[in-house]
Amino acid sequence: MSTNTTNTSTSSHQVVENAYFNSNPPPKALPQHVAAAESFIRQHAAANRRVVLVTSGGTTVPLEKQTVRFIDNFSAGTRGATSAEYFLESGYAVIFMHRQFSLLPYSRHYSHSTDCFLDFLHENPDGSVVANPTHQDKMLRVLRKYNAAKNQNCLLMIPFVTITDYLHELRAVAQLMRPLGPNGLLYLAAAVSDFFVPEDRMSEHKIQSTDATDLLKQQQGPTTITKEPREPEEETFDNFDSSPSVPRSKRLIVDLDPVPKFLKNLVDGWAPEGMIVSFKLETDPKILVHKAKYSLERYQHHLVIGNLLSTRKWEVVFVAPGHSDKWIRVPFSRRKKTLSGVEELVGAADRGAHEKNEPLDPSMLPEGEPEMEIESLIIPAVEELHSKHIESAAAKNTSKLA
């Protein structure tokens, strides 16, 4: 598929994009994913249906080409998988670009160690397997929604593993979404690595932890991950040595490059008409809104949803151009009961902050997860902004024609 970006731009963003994508090869499955996404988008564009690309889960940073070790992050894909379900409920077709083996829409209800699907089933005397009576209602609801999404071909799954897989897949799918115009929505909930080991500096084989293969090392090319040269006086050092200071020759020093920020390329070139929603995750409440605003100014897209690691299932903040910051929170009535069991006391100490334009105090929140999924509030609010985005694009088109 031809794009403006490949034809015209010589901007620094384009130079960085070309350098990254030319030197870090795509995943083997990219052509199959592109073919599947192309026909999915064609079907839904013909039906004038809105299509959302949801990215979900964390990207890995491999330390070796034949990867034994990699750097990862905390994201389980809860935000992405849950959001995908609410988008489907709102009538969107969903391309779910997710970290392989992270949570998936619908099956997420039964895939965790805390909710192992086998615990929801039992064997009847006739040998048939059935859902436990207490879980049947919910299981039936989930199963029906899952089958509806499948039968109507409204959910396309695209897996990724590494940061480079993710970026190749994101660019390809975003570019394919261009025919959707403003009906396309990109909802970037994935936790994307900020640093990586470039292909040309990556060790081919497993990094060795002993000097057993030192003599063979001359045959290897330079790597970004180095063992410090051995000091002449250093003895061979075993891992079980109880010496308090580890010699430099035994340390693994990982030298990472920054991952180029491609949001500008996404906004300007890959999917210029679609609505783009990015997320901002922080751990320090004092900087969250500032960082979200900074991102919006820098990339000039449509919405940043800010969230804090400790409270991300309870509240998020919408930062959008031309709107005042809007906190979206699980209401008091839908939080879990306090230890005292008195419903009215749930979050009572925090009730003031709830009304304010500032983050909740995590110590005031009840243990565990909220009864209500915050995505059930986030998605209608995103949908409303998407409707405005579509209307304003239509108005611009009309005024161009006049």
Distance between first and last Cα of the chain: 31
CB of 172 to ligand PMT, least distance (A): 13
**Tokens 């990867």 -> residue:** 67
Nearer to ligand PMT, 166 or 250 (CB): 166
Q: At what angle do helices 163-176 and 12-23 cross, to 10 degrees?
A: 120
**Cα–Cα dist 337/342, whole Å:** 7
Residue 79 vs 227, nearer CB to ligand PMT: 79
User: And the tokens for 398?
Assistant: 């009309």
Distances in Å between the Cα of 291 and the Cα atoms of 173, 280, 295 are: 27, 7, 6
Nearer to ligand PMT, 211 or 369 (CB): 369
Centre a 10 Å sphere on the Cβ of residue 40 and count the other Cβ atoms it contains: 21
Q: How far is the C-alpha of 37 from the C-alpha of 246, rounded, in Å?
A: 50
Which residues are CB-contacts of 309 (< 8 A; sequence separation ≥ 6)?
74, 281, 282, 283
- Scanning 280-374, the segments in alpha helix (DSSP H) are 288-299, 351-355
Q: Which is nearer to ligand PMT, 63 or 170 (CB)?
A: 170
The binding site for ligand PMT (CB under 6 A) comprises 55, 75-79, 170, 188-192, 194, 259, 261-263, 278-281, 307, 312
Q: Which residue is listed with tokens 């002449």?
A: 232
DSSP state letters, 109-133: GG-SGGG-GGGGEEE-TTS-EEE-H
Complex with ligand PMT: residue 96 or 262, whichever CB lies closer: 262
Nearest CB to ligand PMT, comparing residues 227 and 259: 259
Q: How far is the CB of 122 from ligand PMT (least distance, A)?
A: 31
Shortest reach from residue 17's CB to ligand PMT, in Å: 11
How far apart are the C-alpha atoms of 24 and 401, rounded to whole Å?
A: 43
Residue 381: phi and psi, rounded to 5, are -70, -40
Q: Which CB sits closer to ligand PMT, 173 or 202?
A: 173
Structure tokens at 327: 């906190």
- State the nearest-atom distance from the C-beta of 374 to ligand PMT, in Å: 10
Please state the closest distance from residue 365 (CB atom) to ligand PMT, in A. 16
Provide, rounded to whole angstroms, the least separation between the CB of residue 343 and ligand PMT: 27
Q: Write down the least CB distance from residue 82 to ligand PMT, Å.
A: 8
Using CA atoms, how far apart are residues 34 and 179, in angstroms rounded to an integer?
14
Q: How far is the CB of 201 from ligand PMT (least distance, A)?
A: 19
What residues does 155 pair with on adjacent strands?
A: 94
Q: Which of residues 164 and 223 has its CB atom nearest to ligand PMT in the complex? A: 164
